[in-house]
């Protein structure tokens, strides 16, 4: 694909470079950030195919003129004798590859020089021999002789683009001894296009044995294994990816997707959350040899790629989600949007409400208590199923694995193939980390390594800055919402839902057990009234009771 710089596009369109940069930034024209051909700095590179048809035609006309493929020749007897009828292949100039156009340019230069020098000689055939010898020294790459020179000149004067390129060795390009509908090829791809991913050699041996057994008359027509390998390369990549890797690989690598444009968002506009299993085996504490693996719930700011918060836990449930979110908001303020996947730890009733909760029955819809995120004024965004590539936090997890997990004595790898041999020695000698050490080391890594690393996003104006610097610059351009620790503690209360007050009071389900709450002076006066019960999961000795309009009513103590 041909690309133009901003300057080249501006000259072609007849406008300023500033205008071209602005429409690239606004997405009004397709552009890619690539290293500049000269100074290697990131800049906008615009595909020729993205330009309007009028500008494309202007570009190729200019390129064609620079190549010299539109000569204005004076006809004389000597030159007319060199002309040969040429059967032109109707192919537009822009349909040729860059390498083919460079070959055309080389030949046009040779032919122009030959015409200019040839005009001063009387014995032109003798000059042609000398000129060919000169060209063989100056241009060793294209093979040249008098016959080839005359042939190329005939194509030149007839504007036959196809005649100016070397097609030797390509007469059978795209052809194969294997016909698409042949029994041999159909049996081969039936074996090869399987998710068990058999090798080409194995499929070749199986097909060869099958043909000899069932169709001996075709055995002499079976080509070599190399022919099958070449034929495989002609299969569409998407078909091979789907057949051998599966539907998810097809979606991740072949299905079109929209690039996220970060220039339109600011810090704290979108936070994305996900869970990751540490590839580290740890000890529970210094006095215990019990081994386990921990999980981490991460909170990432999409704009700056800063890890604003996290929570390390034994179980990646909704409690860990709220703890990580609370920690992030204490440090960086309250976000406008939260981007979740569809895991149960993100779709619980008191986080997502009826928007994503699977347990809401029809008779309870519209009668759900106000959720935590609604109280904080946060909008929820849920990823499409199997669309993990949309979450930038997945890439951060890979960085954590490579930079942090691999540096720990207890690193165990993602699977048995990645597990280091020395791990057994480290476990036996109690050299692996404890849970406290893992928490302390990760906190140090997150704030002093990951968040101060160079910004790796696509916005040129932040080039050379650290991720945390990008967050600081961006947040200064918008508003920052903060909440005190006391407010967050109150808002983060778990929601037990609506229930009617019974003679035993109200209850919550805590670790599978019902715990009742009662006030001897008040409860009996409000039996059968419908209320909402909220509680602190770290201190279930007390619950807070709200009415259906979410007004606080009472605090009741545990009845047991």
Q: Note the pLDDT tens digit of each residue in 83-116.
A: 444 444 556 666 777 778 888 888 888 888 888 8
The residue to which tokens 């109200």 are assigned: 506
* Residue pLDDT, tens place only, 114-131: 888 888 887 887 888 888
CB contact set of 423 (below 8 Å; sequence gap of 6+)? 281, 410, 411, 412
Average pLDDT over residues 514-530: 89
* Cα–Cα dist 380/372, whole Å: 11
Least confident of 94-98, 287-291, 330-334, 538-542: 94-98
Same domain flag for 396 and 437: yes
Residue 69 has pLDDT above 60, yes or no: no
Same domain flag for 133 and 101: yes
Same domain flag for 552 and 525: yes
More confident residue, 161 or 494: 494
Same domain flag for 445 and 536: no
Does residue 234 belong to any structural domain of this protein? yes
Same domain flag for 286 and 433: yes
Same domain flag for 410 and 326: yes
More confident residue, 375 or 462: 462
* CATH number, residue 336: 3.30.420.10
pLDDT of residue 74: 42
The residue to which tokens 């005649």 are assigned: 163
Does residue 36 belong to any structural domain of this protein? yes
pTM over 0.75, yes/no = no
Does residue 65 belong to any structural domain of this protein? no
Opening angle at CA 471, ends 466 and 475, nearest 5: 150
* Cα–Cα dist 487/409, whole Å: 40
* Cα–Cα dist 149/131, whole Å: 10
Count CB atoms within 10 A of the CB of residue 539: 7
Average pLDDT over residues 264-288: 90
pLDDT of residue 444: 95
Count CB atoms within 10 A of the CB of residue 516: 15
Q: What range does the domain containing 450 cover? A: 266-342+372-475
Q: State the Cα torsion 412-417-420-422 to the nearest 10°.
A: 100
Q: Are 495 and 349 in contact (CB under 8 A)?
A: yes
CB contact set of 227 (below 8 Å; sequence gap of 6+)? 176, 177, 178
Confidence of residue 448 (pLDDT cuts 50, 70, 90): very high
Sheet holding 270-277, edge to edge: 306-313, 295-301, 270-277, 337-340, 379-382
pLDDT of residue 436: 93
Q: How many residues would you count in the chain?
A: 560
Does residue 535 belong to any structural domain of this protein? yes
Confidence of residue 445 (pLDDT cuts 50, 70, 90): very high
Q: Among 419, 442, 475, identify where a domain stops.
A: 475
Count CB atoms within 10 A of the CB of residue 267: 25
b (16+ CB within 10 A) / e for 299-332: bbbbbbbbbbbbbbbeebbbbbbbbbbbbbbeeb
Strand partners, 536: 539
pLDDT of residue 83: 44
Task: Return the structure tokens found at 218.
Answer: 């075709």
* Cα–Cα dist 381/404, whole Å: 29
Same domain flag for 100 and 28: no
Same domain flag for 236 and 329: no
Same domain flag for 218 and 153: no
| DSSP tag of 448 | I
Q: What percent of the chain has pLDDT over 90?
A: 31
Report in angstroms the alpha-carbon separations of 281 from 29, 35, 395, 411.
Answer: 50, 42, 22, 6
CB contact set of 205 (below 8 Å; sequence gap of 6+)? none
Confidence of residue 32 (pLDDT cuts 50, 70, 90): confident
The three-state secondary structure class of 395 is: helix
More confident residue, 160 or 435: 435
Domain count, the chain: 5
Does residue 358 belong to any structural domain of this protein? no
pLDDT of residue 209: 92
Average pLDDT over residues 294-322: 92
More confident residue, 334 or 90: 334
Most confident listed range (44-48, 69-73, 369-373, 402-406): 402-406
* CATH number, residue 214: 1.10.10.60
Same domain flag for 320 and 428: yes
Residue 465 has pLDDT above 80, yes or no: yes
Does residue 62 belong to any structural domain of this protein? no
Same domain flag for 384 and 317: yes
Opening angle at CA 334, ends 328 and 338, nearest 5: 80
Same domain flag for 105 and 200: no
Residue 75 has pLDDT above 50, yes or no: no
Cα–Cα nearest to 495, from 550, 532, 528, 520:
532
| DSSP tag of 342 | S
Cα–Cα nearest to 332, from 378, 300, 372, 296:
300
Task: Return the structure tokens found at 375.
Answer: 């109280």
Q: Among 253, 275, 310, identify where a domain stops.
A: 253
Average pLDDT over residues 187-204: 94
Residue 317 has pLDDT above 80, yes or no: yes
Average pLDDT over residues 456-469: 88
3-state secondary structure 46-74: EEHHHCCHHHHHHHHHHHHHHHCCCCCCC
Report residue 119: phi and psi, to 5°.
Answer: -65, -25
The three-state secondary structure class of 158 is: coil
Does residue 109 belong to any structural domain of this protein? yes
Strand partners, 495: 534
Average pLDDT over residues 207-232: 87
* Cα–Cα dist 294/316, whole Å: 9
268 φψ region: left (φ > 0), alpha (ψ -120 to 50), beta (else)? left
Confidence of residue 539 (pLDDT cuts 50, 70, 90): confident
Average pLDDT over residues 520-543: 88
Does residue 33 belong to any structural domain of this protein? yes
* Residue pLDDT, tens place only, 407-436: 999 999 988 888 999 999 999 999 999 999
pLDDT of residue 337: 92
Q: Are 316 and 297 in contact (CB under 8 A)?
A: yes
More confident residue, 230 or 356: 230
Average pLDDT over all residues of the chain:
82
* CATH number, residue 514: 2.30.30
* Cα–Cα dist 469/485, whole Å: 25
* Residue pLDDT, tens place only, 467-518: 999 999 999 998 898 888 888 877 778 888 788 999 889 998 887 888 999 9
Confidence of residue 358 (pLDDT cuts 50, 70, 90): low
């Amino acid at each position: 694909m041909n690309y133009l710089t901003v300057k080249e596009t501006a000259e072609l369109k007849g406008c300023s470079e500033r205008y071209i940069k602005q429409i690239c930034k606004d997405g009004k024209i397709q552009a890619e950030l690539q290293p500049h051909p000269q100074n290697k700095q990131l800049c906008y590179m615009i595909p020729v195919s993205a330009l309007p048809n009028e500008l494309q035609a202007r570009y190729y006309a200019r390129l064609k003129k620079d190549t010299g493929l539109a000569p204005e020749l004076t006809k004389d007897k000597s030159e007319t004798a060199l002309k040969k009828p040429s059967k032109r292949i109707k192919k537009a100039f822009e349909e040729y590859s860059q390498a083919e156009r460079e070959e055309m340019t080389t030949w046009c230069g040779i032919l122009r020089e030959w015409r200019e020098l040839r005009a001063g000689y009387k014995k032109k055939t003798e000059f042609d021999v000398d000129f060919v010898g000169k060209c063989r020294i100056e241009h060793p790459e294209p093979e040249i002789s008098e016959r080839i020179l005359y042939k190329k000149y005939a194509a030149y004067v007839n504007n036959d683009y196809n005649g100016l390129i070397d097609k030797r060795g390509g007469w059978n390009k795209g052809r194969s001894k294997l016909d698409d509908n042949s029994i041999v090829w159909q049996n081969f791809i039936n074996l090869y296009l399987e998710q068990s991913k058999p090798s080409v050699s194995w499929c070749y041996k199986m097909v060869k044995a099958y043909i000899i057994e069932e169709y001996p008359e075709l055995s002499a027509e079976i080509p070599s294994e190399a022919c099958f390998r070449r034929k495989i390369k002609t299969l569409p990549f998407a078909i091979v990816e789907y057949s051998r890797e599966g539907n998810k690989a097809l979606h991740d690598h072949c299905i079109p997707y929209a690039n996220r444009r970060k220039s339109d968002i600011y810090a704290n506009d979108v936070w994305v959350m996900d869970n990751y299993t540490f590839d580290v085996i740890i000890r529970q504490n210094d006095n215990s040899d019990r081994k386990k693996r921990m999980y981490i719930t991460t909170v990432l700011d999409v704009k700056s790629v800063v890890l604003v918060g996290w929570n390390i836990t034994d179980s990646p449930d909704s409690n860990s989600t709220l703890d990580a979110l609370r920690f992030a908001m204490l440090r960086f303020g309250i976000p406008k949007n939260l981007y979740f996947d569809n895991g149960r730890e993100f779709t619980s009733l008191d986080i997502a409400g009826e928007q994503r909760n699977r347990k809401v029955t029809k008779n309870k819809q519209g009668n759900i208590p106000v959720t935590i995120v609604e109280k904080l004024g946060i909008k929820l965004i849920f990823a499409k199923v199997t669309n993990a590539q949309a979450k930038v936090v997945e890439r951060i997890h890979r960085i954590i694995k490579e930079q942090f997990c691999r540096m720990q004595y207890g690193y165990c790898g993602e699977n048995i193939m990645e597990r280091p041999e020395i791990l057994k020695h480290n476990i036996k000698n109690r050299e692996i980390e404890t849970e406290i050490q893992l928490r302390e080391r990760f906190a140090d890594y997150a704030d002093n390594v990951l968040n101060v690393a160079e910004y790796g996003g696509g916005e040129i104006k932040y080039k050379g800055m650290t991720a945390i610097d990008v967050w600081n610059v961006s947040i200064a351009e918008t508003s920052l919402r903060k909440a005190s620790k006391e407010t967050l503690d109150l808002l983060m209360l778990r929601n037990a839902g609506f229930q009617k007050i019974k003679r035993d009071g109200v209850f919550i389900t805590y670790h599978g057990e019902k715990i009742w709450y009662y006030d001897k002076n008040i409860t009996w006066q409000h039996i059968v009234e419908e209320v909402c019960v909220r509680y602190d999961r770290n201190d279930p000795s007390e619950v807070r009771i709200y009415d259906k309009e979410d007004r606080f009513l009472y605090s009741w103590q545990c009845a047991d």
